[in-house]
Structure 1
Amino acid sequence: MAAERTALKSPPKGAPQLDDERRAPIDAAISDLQRGARAWSHLTIGQRAKLLGRVRATVVATAAEWADVASLSKGLEPGHPLRGEEWLSGPYATLVALDAYAESLGRIERGGSPLDGVRMDAAPGERVRVHTFPTHAIDGLLLSGYTTEVWFEPGVTEAEARARAGLGQLDATGTSSVGLVLGAGNITSIPVLDVLYELLAFNRVAILKVNPTQDSLVPVYERALAPLIEPGFLRIVRGAGDVGGYLVSHPEIAHVHITGSAATFDAITWGTGADGARRRRENRPQLKKPITAELGGVSPIIIVPGEWTSADLRFHAEHVATMRLQNSGHNCIAGQVVILSSDWAQRDAFLAELRAAYDRAPARPVWYPNSAAKMDAAAASYPDARWSVDHTRAIVEIGAEDEASDLETTEYFSPVLGVVTLPGNGQEFLDAAVAHANERLTGTLGANVLIDPVTQAALGDGFERAIADLRYGDIAINTWTAFAFLTPTATWGAFPGASIDDVESGIGVVHNAMLLERVERSVARGPFRPFPRSVPGVVRARGRGGVSVLPKPPWFVTSRTGAAVSEGFTRFRMDGNLARLSATLVKAYGA
């Protein structure tokens, strides 16, 4: 006989209402989760780690279907060269997160800290940082030249950081509650990773409301996450905004987490129309429970002038094109505004390479809802924009007399890339570009900086000080901030300081598999040059720049073998088969 369901309170008067047929299964799901919350609080750390192992096995079993369904949902038919994106941003991102969380739980279970054995040192501005990637030799081999650091807020000591690492798992038997995760619609691992963070950082079981763009993935999610669903730690529901509104207002939901836009966040928090405006004026939010959020923004790509080879110009033009065109630009941290020096002797040569790389990237659908309207808005604001590939992507080059405000304040979430110029060279330019990004661009989620190792060595401490001055939650140096997203031991979220009154790019962080408290930002660093060109450059620049074994990262939209290499990397994470990995690395050299 089925267990008697817990009686639920009704949503408050005025909250969005659903008819009985749609409301009943949602209420039943929340009732199941209430019992699941109690069960979760009784699991030991070791039992939680074993549960993650079961989830890992079911993710492995569904990985190929996951990548295929996600690709088809975005119009990438079999054989399309960009299908590798869905391997990396779906099952790969989930598997590495599960492994990293399990490692943290294992250290806690043994009476230690997730930071045991992890290097920490000082960062600029009286900060402490922890070097979170690579932490294993295989990571250092596959992704040589790439690192991540998590910087804590000023004033946090190394002892405090180590003592507080673990978050909710430091009190595994504490009270558990039910949280709502409003899933993202663009990247298929985001809803899963957000659910895992609710469970492990805060001991909240979760009801996941899937974005309608992800409806085709629901059967895959249900199989991949079956070990969480069976004991009542997770329920998955579908629906449009009315379902989300009902869940947000439900009295048994203790917390809301959303990945989406600032406009959706404001609608949840304050309401819409005249009523929402009145609540804002009166400072009376309609949402009466805590909310965290990962939202978007306008991400800068700061290019510090230096002496680049023709190969450097071509490589980083493809790099910038990738930052904008991956997933057809439907990313919260897609680079949107390139900041160049008007005094850089190679400015025109770089722009020529950028236009060519933008055109050279494979054609693909612009698939996300409302993207056409965003692109129409860009066309209206910038009638001289350069459109290409059947009018599906644009580059807007802002002249000295042109107005850049729309480009710098509107997250286009589509293949629209802008270029603005500032005067200066060296430290003068870098400081001006940092100030421009902080003061003129909307959002605080992700910023990218490209700098050759010789110039970086010449700037010395001034470069690190400029990085500290960037008010962004994730910063990438000679890589893209998406690398931090894919690295589970990095944190992912906006720069601290936002509130429901001015949410900017969000509140709180996710991922954070070492379960660190009071973090300020993550910094990812990559190799300025790919293999084999990276080797002599690092020698000349006194060790800076990073040596990579990859001739071209598989996530580049111009990689000829990116689909095969991305799948191969994921399959290695699935089974650890070194022989198959060797074959994958051979394919990588065909990029």
Structure 2
Amino acid sequence: MTTSAPAADRLAEADRAVADLVRGESAWAALGLARRRELLERVHTAAGEHAAAWVRAAAAYKRLPDDSPLTGEEWITGPYPVLTGTGALAASIRALEAGRSPVDAFTTRPAPGGRVAVRVLPHSVYDRLLLSGFSADVWMPPGITTDEIRDRAGLALRRPKETGGVGVVLGAGNITSIPVLDVLYELYAHNRVVVLKLNPVTDGLLTVFRAVLAPLIDAGAVRILTGGADIGTHLVHHPDVGHVHMTGSAVTHDAIVFGTGAAGADRKRAGTPLLDKPVTSELGGVSPTLVLPGNWSDADLRFQAEHVATQRLHNGGYNCVASQVVVLSSGWAQKDRFLAHLRAALAKAPARPAYYPGSDDRVAQALTEYAGARRIGDRVLIEDLDARDPGPALTTEYFAPVLGVLELPGDPAAFLDDAVTTANERFAGTLGVNLIAHPRTLAALGPALDEAIARLRYGTVAVNAWTGVGYLTATASWGAFPGHTVDDVQSGIGVVHNALLLDGPERTVVRGPFRPAPRSLLHGEPSLSPKPPWFVTNRTAATTGRLLSGFAAAPRWSALPGIFASALRG
């Protein structure tokens, strides 16, 4: 279906897609675990075969030149997480087939507040080599025991004949793996057949997505449609659709659930949704980066400034978990030097087209709202946020290359305590928070660090890493902190990815190296990781991303030397 077709034809095709899935639900229910795994493995193969076409299509709508290192972002956030995700999910199904739990091969440890954490990264020897120095743990809610984690992992695949009806996935328009991963999670975690409605920004990926998901389309479990808001509205209100999952903003969520204008606002206040069916979501927010004071070398200041610039500028700033406000200690002796490096990193990052609709308007809005905002190329830095009255930067997701700086007082311990409270109580959204600190500072904090992590009400917490690493970790959970409701949705309801199919995870905690190799080794950090390929200043990101995707399609020792050689040149 194309958006140029007459409206009646497009609505009729949407109806046919739903009718196909009503019939397909029975066919899906009849498939055992082995057959479902085989279909997933065929999706994995197709993703590898069509990876290059996928990246070309994404680069085309984002208007990236073919030879730009920035196409590495399209490899690493497009086919790569789909390849790793299908591989990890197939391994979970294999465990269930054998009568085991998907988490049997993973270790657990105690976490603060009576929690249990599942170590999901590193898991294989390949993880230890390719992501040296990085780790990820999924923290379960307080009181959930290790035995309960193991017994419940598998979700709907423990009862494959009990299907969940027809669901609609409203696809994202920014990161191209999101629509495919969301479809797979609906189908495998919830046993729900799916119609995917693409965001119009990504219509150029329709052919690729249909090729990648062809095994599931042929099985009658998936349909893919294009179209505008009229098709999305028709689908979510269709009487044969029982569930909706969306990726986007809280504003879009509320328009879908309550309607628009004054009537929609009245429904939200009254708690009477226009859409009376379950809705799960992964939404954005204002993600902070908390930078703890310490005694850093100039190389440390420069590297971490590039790290923060990446957290804001990756994919042009059009990420639900892009950092929007850097929180610094006003008393940090190196604050001014760090800010000088941050300005330089923002200026050094490659320019790119503002492909996402409304971006230029949101940049102009930030420049109007803050007299002290400065342009640095095609991006904006706001250094004069007032802690008493910071304005909209803490509550409005700009979804554009806009970065603010907020200062709070205190030494590392006092600053961290205040910063956690500020992040929890004053920032909109709960999707992700970053924390950057020198290893000596982390050591001095001791148990207070884990206690601070436990206090942070965010779905992903990253220490000396970007929360985007959590997105890229297939076995980690991804989504808002639990507890939101449709009338106060914040960053969403439910999780995705979660290839271990853990029941009700609370958060993912990612840790990374403070320094890149070889400086990490010179300072006693056990990390071989050079500048990560997702850094916007990485010169070989395109080659490294392509090689990593090829490896994820067919893991093999012979591929590693080429990956390492490309990564070291980055």
TM-score category of the 2 structures, normalised to the smaller one: over 0.9
What is the rounded CA distance, in whole Å, between the counterparts of 1:249 and 1:436 in structure 2?
Answer: 39
SS of the residue corresponding to residue 501 of structure 2 reads coil
* 2-structure distance, mates of 1:32, 1:399: 53
- After TM superposition, list the pairs within 5 Å mapping 1:290-439 onto structure 2: 290-389=278-377, 392-398=378-384, 403-439=389-425
Q: What residue ranges of structure 2 are gaps of 5+ in the alignment?
A: 1-5
* Deviation, structure 1 residue 291: 0.5
Equivalent of 2:190, from 202, 209, 219?
Answer: 202
What is the TM-score with the length of structure 2 in the denominator? Answer: 0.97
Which residue of structure 1 aligns with residue 557 of structure 2? Answer: 578
Q: Does structure 2 retain, via aligned residues, the 8 Å contact 1:448–1:479?
A: yes
Shift of 1:507: 0.4
Provide Cα deviations, 1:189-218, integer angstroms capped at 9, x if missing partner.
000000000011110010000000000000
Find the partner of 2:455 among 438, 447, 469.
469
Residue 193 of structure 1: SS of its match in structure 2? helix
Residue 233 of structure 1: how far off its partner (Å): 0.8
C-alpha contact 2:471 2:478 (8 A) present in aligned 1: yes
Q: 1:401 to 1:323 in 2, by over 3 A?
A: closer
8 Å CA contact retained: 2:373, 2:384:
no
Question: In the aligned structure 1, how far is the partner of 2:467 from the partner of 2:526?
Answer: 19
**Mapped partners of 1:547, 1:378: distance in 2:** 41
- How big is the shift at 1:575? 2.6
Q: Distance in 1 between matches of 2:171 and 2:461?
A: 24
3-state DSSP of counterpart to 1:519: coil
1:512 aligned onto 2:498: yes
Letter in 2 for 1:527: P
User: How much has 1:440 moved relative to structure 2?
Assistant: 0.9
Residue type of the partner of 2:57?
Answer: V
Q: Which residue of 2 aligns with 1:5?
A: none
Which amino acid is 1:239 matched to?
A: G
Match of 2:99 among 106, 111, 120: 111
For 2:271, give the aligned amino acid: N
Alignment counterpart, residue 557 of structure 1, candidates 525, 528, 536 = 536
Q: Is the 8 A contact 1:453 1:537 kept in 2?
A: no
Give the counterpart of 1:223 among 204, 211, 216: 211
1:176/1:469 Cα in 2 relative to 1: closer, same or farther (>3 Å)?
A: closer
What do the CA deviations read for 1:123-171 (whole angstroms, capped 9, x no partner)?
0111111111111111111101111110111111111111100000011
Determine the structure 2 residue equivalent to 1:246. 234
**How far apart, CA to CA, are the structure 2 residues paired with 1:175 and 1:68?**
36
Q: Which whole-Å CA distance do the structure 2 matches of 1:537 and 1:127 have between them?
A: 32
Aligned to 1:7: none
1:490-569 map, 5 Å: 490-538=476-524, 547-569=526-548
Residue 4 of structure 1 is matched in structure 2 by none
Which one of the candidate residues 146, 152, 157 is aligned to 1:158?
Answer: 146
CA distance in 1, matches of 2:236, 2:164: 18
Task: Tell me the SS of whatever aligns to 2:506.
Answer: strand
Q: Which residue of 1 aligns with 2:3?
A: none
2:209 counterpart letter in structure 1: Y
Sort the Cα spacing of 1:117 and 1:575 in 2 relative to 1 into closer, same or farther, 3 A.
closer
Question: Deviation string for 1:462-516 (max 9, x for gaps)?
Answer: 1110111101011111110000001010000000110011001100000000001
Amino acid at match of 1:532: P
Separation of aligned partners in 1, 2:505 and 2:249: 22
In structure 2, the CA distance between the partners of 1:327 and 1:230, relative to structure 1 (3 Å rule), is: same
- Aligned counterparts of 2:487 and 2:387: Cα–Cα separation in 1: 34
Task: Compare 271-280 and 486-495 and name the one that shifted more.
Answer: 271-280
Where in structure 1 do 4 or more consecutive aligned residues deviate above 3 Å?
399-403, 577-580
The answer to whether the aligner puts 1:284 opposite 2:272 as a matched pair is yes
Partner of 2:436: 450
SS at match of 2:326: strand
Residue 483 of structure 1, aligned match among 465, 469, 472:
469
Question: Structure 2 CA distance, aligned partners of 1:359 and 1:273?
Answer: 40
Q: Secondary structure at the match of 2:516?
A: coil
How many residue pairs get aligned? The number is: 565
Does the aligned pair in 2 maintain the 1:322–1:557 contact within 8 Å? yes
**Residue of structure 2 equivalent to 1:13:** none
Give the match's secondary structure for 2:381. Answer: strand
Task: Supply the RMSD in Å over aligned alpha carbons.
Answer: 1.3
2:164, 2:261 → 1: CA distance? Answer: 36
Counterpart-to-counterpart distance in 2, 1:400 and 1:188: 36
Report the CA distance shift for 1:287/1:401 in structure 2 as closer, same or farther (over 3 A): closer
Q: Does structure 1 retain, via aligned residues, the 8 Å contact 2:372–2:384?
A: no
The aligned amino acid for 1:568 is L
Question: Counterpart of 1:456 in 2: which secondary structure?
Answer: helix
Amino acid aligned to 1:406:
P
Comparing 485-494 with 527-536, greater Cα deviation is found at 527-536
CA contact (8 A) 1:38 1:176 kept: no
How far is 1:527 from its partner? 0.7
The 2-side partners of 1:350 and 1:473 are apart by: 28
Q: Does 1:44 align with 2:44?
A: no
**Cα distance in 2, alignment partners of residues 566 and 338 from structure 1:** 28
The alpha-carbon distance between structure 1 residues 577 and 160, as it changes in their structure 2 partners (threshold 3 A), is: closer
Structure-2 change in CA distance of 1:176 and 1:423 (3 Å): closer
SS in 1 for 2:78: helix
Q: Deviations 1:316-366 (Å, cap 9, x if unpaired)?
A: 000000000000000000001000001111101100000001100111111
Instruction: Provide the C-alpha distance between the structure 2 equivalents of 1:19 and 1:534, rounded to a whole number of angstroms.
Output: 59
- Determine if contact 2:169/2:246 at 8 Å carries over to the other structure: yes
Determine if contact 2:367/2:374 at 8 Å carries over to the other structure: no
Q: Which residue of 2 aligns with 1:173?
A: 161
2:396–2:428 Cα contact (<8 Å) kept:
yes
Conserved 8 A contact 1:299-1:443: yes
Listed one character per residue, the Cα deviations across residues 554-587 of structure 1 (whole Å, up to 9, x for unaligned) are: 1101111111111111111123353343122112
Q: Distance in 2 between matches of 1:21 and 1:258?
A: 24
**Contact 1:81–1:563, Cα closer than 8 Å, also in 2:** yes
Match of 1:81 in 2: 69
Tell me the distance in 1 between the aligned counterparts of 2:126 and 2:269.
Answer: 54
Corresponding position of 1:9: none
Task: Judge conservation of contact 2:44–2:83 (CA < 8 Å) in 1.
Answer: yes
Q: Distance in 2 between matches of 1:330 and 1:400?
A: 25
Q: 1:20, CA displacement in angstroms? A: 3.1
Summarize deviations over 1:48-99 as a string: whole Å, max 9, x none.
1111111111111100010111012101011112110000000001000000
Letter in 1 for 2:527: S
Match of 1:232, SS state, is: coil
Which 10-residue stretch deviates more, 210-219 or 18-27?
18-27
- Could you tell me how far apart the structure 2 residues matched to 1:377 and 1:48 are? 48
User: In the TM superposition, what is the alpha-carbon distance from 1:277 to its structure 2 partner?
Assistant: 2.4
The equivalent position to 1:189 in structure 2, one of 157, 173, 177, is 177
Q: Alpha carbons of 1:537 and 1:418: their partners in 2 closer, same or farther (altered >3 Å)?
A: same
Counterpart of 2:118? Answer: 130
Alignment-mate amino acid for residue 159 of structure 1 = D
Aligned to 1:264: 252
CA–CA separation in structure 1 for the residues paired with 2:323 and 2:385: 19
Q: Percent identity?
A: 51
Counterpart check, 1:98 vs 2:86: yes
Contact 1:121 1:130 in 2 (8 A): yes
CA contact 1:258–1:293 (8 Å) conserved in 2: yes
Which letter does structure 2 place at the counterpart of 1:222?
R
